[in-house]
Chain A
Amino acid sequence: MDGLHIHGVHHAYGDTKVLQGISLTVPAGELVCLLGPSGCGKTTLLRLAAGLERLQAGSIAIDEKVVAGDGVKVLPEHRRVGYMFQDYALFPHLDVTDNIMFGLFRWSGEEAKARTAEVLRQVGLEQHAHKFPHTLSGGQQQRVALARAIAPKPRLVLLDEPFSGLDTNMRVRIREQTLNVLKEAGVATLMVTHDPEEAMYMADRIKGMGEGGNVLQSGRPTEIYYQPVDEYVARLFGPVNEIVTEARGREVKTPFGVVPARDYADGDRVKVLIRPESFSLSNAANGSNSRRVEVSASHLLGDSSLVEFRLADQLDDSENQLFKVQIPGNFDPLDHTRVWIGLAPEDAFVFAGD
């Protein structure tokens, strides 16, 4: 199968182990996203794939051909990999066109020019073809870097935190454009990010990475988002509400109703995690799980609202805990008003307690 195959890769800097037996596959035409906190070895994996770092253990193959491992070591310049660096690494002494042409030196003059024009059009920078990098905005620099990376028609594209240098508005726009460009190119892409929204937007599959430099869970965005295998993966997608309690009779009782205890036995300490966006909220009771709470504060975030509440009447040991709810649209109740809150049992994740 075409694409990138990484198998059993270990890597350490001195005594610090950053990758521990990681294996993954990026099929041609797919975009795979490594989602993990900073320092989990994501960038190292990209550098290994590009050949910029010496492989210590394991093997890496591109399009069925081993490029590193088993005594093989293909130099980075022979791997046909497009790499977009976090800091873009544009060549300051070359203008936009020359930056893009940099990788097209084996192409004939006419073809190179045509290809440059083509990628410039794809990223929408035709009118900046002869500007120098330092005169461009951050978003424009990012697009030059992308254009440069895909121009030589690589077999594999590596993106290292491609949108981290951009402001929110631009990020959304550039993200869309980047995805289109990559889909159009139909190339295997491995991207690294710590932004879950970015990962879910871009990726065909997401790999949740742990601090130990290994893949904890892999799957389509919906799978990994709705069925995290552990607390760590659940938390990769942002802050969660947490209730610590005990399992009783294959069930866990929460202030928002009973959720299945999965395979936790009676008396096991469990942690119930609920994403802010999993709650439903209304001004009147609806459904059996609904419960009345008092709003402590609320914030309109634009296309969604963040509501903080405390349980109105204390039932158990969850005390006067503050919960956060994120719901779509403008829901902006006054403080201390009472609202009804609901939770679908399948949206609560139950993991082992401490």
Chain B
Amino acid sequence: MAVPEGLKDGWTISTAIICALAVTPVAAVVYLALTPEPGDDIWSHLVSTVLPDYIITTVGLMIGVGIGTVLIGVSAAWLVTMCRFPGRRIFEWAMLLPMAMPAYVIAYVYTDILEYAGPVQGMLREMFGWQTGRDYWFPEIRSLGGAISMMTLVLYPYVYLLSRAAFLEQSIGVLEASRVLGRGPWHGFFTVALPLARPGIVIGLSLVLMETLNDFGTVDFFAVNTFSLGIFDVWMNMSNVSGAAQLATVLLLFVALLVLSERYARRKQRFHNTSSKYQALPGLRLRGKLGLLAMTICALPVLLGFVLPTWILIEYAVQYFDPLLASEIAGYAWNSIKLSLLAGGLAVVVAIVIAYSVRIRGGQVLTSLSRLASLGYAVPGAVLAVGVMNVLGPLDNSIDAYSRETFGISTGLIFSGTIAAVTFGYLVRFLALSLGTVEAGLGKITPNMDGAARSLGHGALSTMRRVHMPLMRTSVLTAVMLVFVDCMKELPMTTILRPFNFQTLATFVHQYASDEQLGEAALAALSIVGVGILPVILLSYAIARSRPGHGQVMARPRQKNKMSKGSR
């Protein structure tokens, strides 16, 4: 059989193997879906009963969270990047803080405040003399609207992060062009800046939507019947793991369709900055009422998504403080940090290998493989964990069988139920995050810069060290931190894949919070947030520095021919 072009050398083959490894758990899920136990009529049942509701609810949730996160994320990014108003410097990084807050935690907290017995309604009843819930109307937090609000509050930072990066990248020239053409600054925002930032916004939005689709903790707690809840119902209550895998596969196809259609819609747009000059951003000064408005727009999501829930968690943590528990939690925090760092580092290393390979070798095969390697993000964590087990279990058992046969030694399970399994799970799930970030960073180094370094006498390694590493630093850091923060919050895969006697902060929080014992969970939840904040702030700092004219990185004269091969 002929080897496909572009699969011929070691570099390509290694990358192909890495990608294939990353795809195996997803493939295992699809395989489960395709091999149902006989007599399963799960689809006819679902279609005739709850499936329409699942779909409507899920789409509603996606639309709600999508609109919410884009509104907050994009407007905050624009204000913080292009305008000057009181507190802007703080909001620059503070906007990212809710990222450290797991959705399920914020859901517990808000239910605690806003439900009937909570302080808010209690105060209202006291103020107005209402006796029971039948005397007044109050929005129900455990509802679709509630779920949309919670997820919007903690997920908007993804949109903020990526649209801010996009705005920072924009040459101010195009905005000035819009002004010169007689349009006001706001019109310029909608007709020039926004369309130019669209690829960035869309990537942020797609991250948000995938997180939304795969969320289980929040929708389960709020009893909002989404598709992912359906997956778990089929799995746990109907004991039909194959049916669950089928639903997950449908979800996967749906995500793939969304991504592809967006790409298709964007197929003719290629954005390059046509102006080679970067200037300091204009800093449109907002005074008086406008300044106040800008401040409010930025402050509200941070207050609601971070400050208030953190404050409540602190109150609980103090009330329930137990030194014994605290030292236990410190141990779990250390587990979380180690594991998240390991996964973050590994995810970035793998992303770098793949991204470089695609850059150097190019070709359809590698590009498609790298896309496939990102699929794990579109599968609910628990289902993906089953996929991981279905890969590692048989692998371990065949190694064991081989070793018994050959050496007469049983190796037992080498990977299953170890940190390696959890790390592999994280890697498969979050590779999309690191790969996207690293690819974007690598795209900013033109091949000619490599050529310049080489012709100036530097070897490949030296070029990597002296040109690529300094230029990639921001994106690599961003990738590590994104994966780190997500791993800190990750729950279902950790639970299912972990070794004996192993707790992370997230699993610890969950065991109490699932029993609605928020008090006992508060300190650990707070620790997740606390550990997550630091990288989030670092991240924001790194991004702020990365703008040409602000920091020292990333400026270059841009020509129409981005790749040298285009001008051969």
Contact = CB atoms under 8 A, between A and B. Distances in A.
Interface of A: 13, 18, 38-39, 41, 43-44, 47, 50-52, 75-83, 85-93, 102-103, 105-106, 132-135, 138, 141, 148-149, 152, 158, 165
Contact of A132 (B276, B449, B552, B567): B552
Interface residues of B, number: 36
Interface stretch (B254-262, B434-442, B555-563): B555-563
A52 B455 contact: yes
Contact of B456 (A39, A51, A148): A148
B467 A91 contact: yes
Contacts of B278: 134
Contacts of B544: none
Contacts of A52: 450-451, 454-455
B568 A87 contact: no
B557 to A, nearest CB: 6
Contact of B552 (A43, A79, A93): A93
14 contacts: A18-B568, A41-B568, A43-B564, A77-B457, A77-B462, A86-B448, A87-B557, A88-B556, A93-B470, A106-B457, A134-B549, A134-B555, A135-B549, A148-B452
A105 B462 CA distance: 11
A130 B556 CA distance: 16
B86 interface: no
A77 B455 CA distance: 5
B556 A90 contact: yes
A39 B568 contact: yes
Interface of B: 276-278, 446, 448-459, 462, 466-467, 470-471, 548-549, 552-559, 561, 564-565, 567-568
A337 to B, nearest CB: 41
A86 B568 CA distance: 11
Instruction: Give the top 8 A-B pairs by smallest Cβ distance, nearest first.
Output: A134-B555, A103-B456, A89-B448, A76-B454, A83-B455, A85-B448, A89-B452, A87-B559
B459 A89 contact: no
A36 to B, nearest CB: 12
B556 A82 contact: no
B456 A152 contact: yes
Contacts of B459: 75, 77
A183 to B, nearest CB: 21
A75 B450 CA distance: 13
Contacts of B564: 43, 47, 85
Contacts of A148: 452, 456
Contacts of B455: 50-52, 76-77, 79, 81-83, 149, 158
A191 to B, nearest CB: 15
Given A13-B565, A87-B558, A105-B458, A50 B451 contact: yes
Nearest to B469: A93
B62 to A, nearest CB: 39
A76 B453 CA distance: 9
Contact of A165 (B450, B457, B470, B559): B559
Contacts of A77: 454-459, 462
A86 B448 CA distance: 9
Contact of A86 (B276, B449, B561, B565): B561
Nearest to A49: B455
Contacts of B451: 47, 50, 52, 76, 83, 85, 89
Given A47-B568, A92-B548, 8 more contacts: A18-B568, A43-B567, A76-B455, A86-B559, A90-B557, A102-B453, A103-B458, A165-B557
Given A76-B451, A77-B454, A106-B457, A89 B568 contact: no
Contacts of B567: 38, 43, 86
A132 B558 CA distance: 16
A235 B68 CA distance: 60
A92 to B, nearest CB: 5
Nearest to A52: B451
A148 B456 CA distance: 8
B556 A92 contact: yes
Contacts of B276: 138, 165
A134 B556 contact: yes
Contacts of A106: 457
B561 A87 contact: yes
A93 B471 contact: yes
Central interface residue in A47, A77, A79, A92, by most chain B CB within 10 Å: A92
A18 B567 CA distance: 11
Central interface residue in A87, A91, A135, A165, by most chain B CB within 10 Å: A87
Contacts of B565: 13
Contacts of B453: 91, 102
B556 A89 contact: yes
Contacts of B449: 89, 91
Contacts of A91: 449, 452-453, 467, 471
A141 B557 contact: yes
A134 B561 contact: no
A83 B559 CA distance: 17
A257 B29 CA distance: 85
B557 A102 contact: no
Given A76-B451, A134-B555, A102 B548 contact: no
B476 to A, nearest CB: 14
Contacts of B277: 134
Contacts of A41: 568
